[in-house]
Structure 1
Amino acid sequence: MKTRDRILQTSLQLFNEQGERNVTTNHIAAELGISPGNLYYHFRNKTDIIYSLFIQYRALVDRYLRVPRDRTLTIEDQMFYLESVFDGLWYYRFFHRDLEYLLTTDERLRMDYREFTFQCLTEVRAVLQGLEDAGILHPHSDQEQEAMALNVWLVVTNWMAFLKTARADGGNDATSQQELKQGIYQVLTLQLPYLTDSYYDQMAAIRERYRPQLSRVQPEAEGS
């Protein structure tokens, strides 16, 4: 593996485990067993590393959300999209833990993330349209479809923040990949009113696999 790729891989691991703000370029170099100068040969600073990791993440999401052109969508396709997107969130979880801070400290990242957001909204709308064309969802108006796509995006990108702030112990690193994927339950709940009769029971059963264990984050009742 090339040194540049090793730097990105190790940085991602350290950012995920310790939080981006707690990791310096010296920490990354020490973990790799290379000199800081060698690291700076490939990246000018930590901001450049974070931006390069965002480019990786963006390419991953773009690959996941491609809608096939030669066939209609299936429920299995939708579940692949959801599982894959939440997997991406987990693999790059440091980014969404402190997104607002990262965007305010790098104008280039802020502008590109804005473009990425609107690109994802377009792709989510294409998925919704594909589900309509397949007879899985009832037809939406353009306005409803736009609102649905935005709601899906908000749930996906903010579920980690909800888990972080709602946990009774204030835990951050305790969030697991399984807990994160419980956000799929919320996305499917948004779609339930729009499902056609032929697919309602099947999708409702799939949704139950992801039901969040809210007892882990809700405070105990007084006197319990």
Structure 2
Amino acid sequence: MKTRDRILAASLELFNTRGERHVTTNHIANHLGMSPGNLYYHFRNKPMIVAELFQRFEQRLDAFFTLPEAPLTLDHKADLLEQLLQIIWQFRFLQQDLDQLLEADPDFAQRYHAFAQRSLRHARGLYQAFIDAGILLMDARQLEALTLNAWIIINSWARLPGAQPRGQQLTEQFLRRGIYQLLMLEDGYIAPAHRPAIGALHARLQVPLGELLPGLD
């Protein structure tokens, strides 16, 4: 693996496990057993590392939103939800530390704004494809609301107030429940013929709330 890629992989690991704000370039260099000067040869500062990781996240999501030429099926829906979970889990620091990243770096904030607009357009197109396939039944007004509500969940679930004890790392199960919440937004719009299969998908993704938030079971 090239040194630049090693730095990015180590940074992603540390950002995900410790939180981006708690990791310095010295931490990254020490983790890799290299001198800070060697790291600075590839990245002048931490925002440059964050920017490149965000670019990779964008590329993964852009590929995720690329629709097949054939009509979408329920198998596509199941695969897409699992893919989305994997992408968010791999780059989970972007969800956990988003508010701080937006406030600390104006360039990142500008890029994220453009990314958000593009993602909303892509998400609307994805939902429209499921409408065209006869899996979802909704009008344009409902489609617009569903798209926006889905984006709100995707962007805020990892930072749900009070959901994660202070200092506790985000878990994949917690993110899986977020994907389940995303799926449940569609519940009132599923075509009757597809409800049994969607019910099986619900069971596959649901994580009991009591496992995540003790006292609510």
Q: TM-score scaled to structure 1, two decimals? A: 0.90
Which residue does the alignment assign to 1:60? 60
Contact 2:85–2:175 (CA under 8 A) maintained in structure 1: yes
1:57-106 C-alpha deviation (Å, 9 max, x unpaired):
110111111111x2100111122222111211111111111101101111
Which residue does the alignment assign to 1:133? 132
State the alpha-carbon separation in 1 of the partners of residues 213 and 36 from structure 2.
45
Which residue does the alignment assign to 2:184? 189
Q: Where do 5+ consecutive residues of structure 1 fail to align?
A: none
Which residue does the alignment assign to 1:158? 156
Q: What amino acid does structure 2 have at the position aligned with 1:165? A: G
State the alpha-carbon separation in 2 of the partners of residues 217 and 83 from structure 1.
19
Contact 1:183–1:212 (CA under 8 A) maintained in structure 2: no
Are positions 1:172 and 2:168 aligned together? yes
Q: What amino acid does structure 2 have at the position aligned with 1:172? A: Q
Map 1:70-81 → 2, pairs under 5 A: 70-81=69-80
State the alpha-carbon separation in 1 of the partners of residues 200 and 212 from structure 2.
24
Which residue does the alignment assign to 2:208? 213
State the alpha-carbon separation in 2 of the partners of residues 104 and 28 from structure 1.
22
- Percent identity over the alignment? 39
Map 1:76-115 → 2, pairs under 5 A: 76-115=75-114
What is the deviation of 1:206? 1.2
Are positions 1:145 and 2:140 aligned together? no
Cα 1:171–1:206 change in 2 (3 A) is farther
State the alpha-carbon separation in 2 of the partners of residues 203 and 172 from structure 1.
32
What is the deviation of 1:15? 0.9
Q: How many residues align?
A: 216
Which residue does the alignment assign to 1:200? 195
CA RMSD of aligned residues (A): 1.6
Q: Where do 5+ consecutive residues of structure 2 fail to align?
A: none
What is the deviation of 1:218? 3.8
Between 1:175-184 and 1:34-43, the stretch displaced more is: 175-184
State the alpha-carbon separation in 1 of the partners of residues 119 and 78 from structure 2.
17
State the alpha-carbon separation in 2 of the partners of residues 78 and 208 from structure 1.
14
What is the deviation of 1:216? 3.3
- Secondary structure of 2:205's counterpart equals coil
- Secondary structure of 1:62's counterpart equals helix
Cα 1:128–1:85 change in 2 (3 A) is same
Contact 1:121–1:153 (CA under 8 A) maintained in structure 2: yes
What is the deviation of 1:219? 5.5
Q: What amino acid does structure 1 have at the position aligned with 2:131? A: E
Which residue does the alignment assign to 1:4? 4
State the alpha-carbon separation in 2 of the partners of residues 118 and 13 from structure 1.
28
Contact 1:47–1:106 (CA under 8 A) maintained in structure 2: yes
Q: What amino acid does structure 2 have at the position aligned with 1:215? A: G
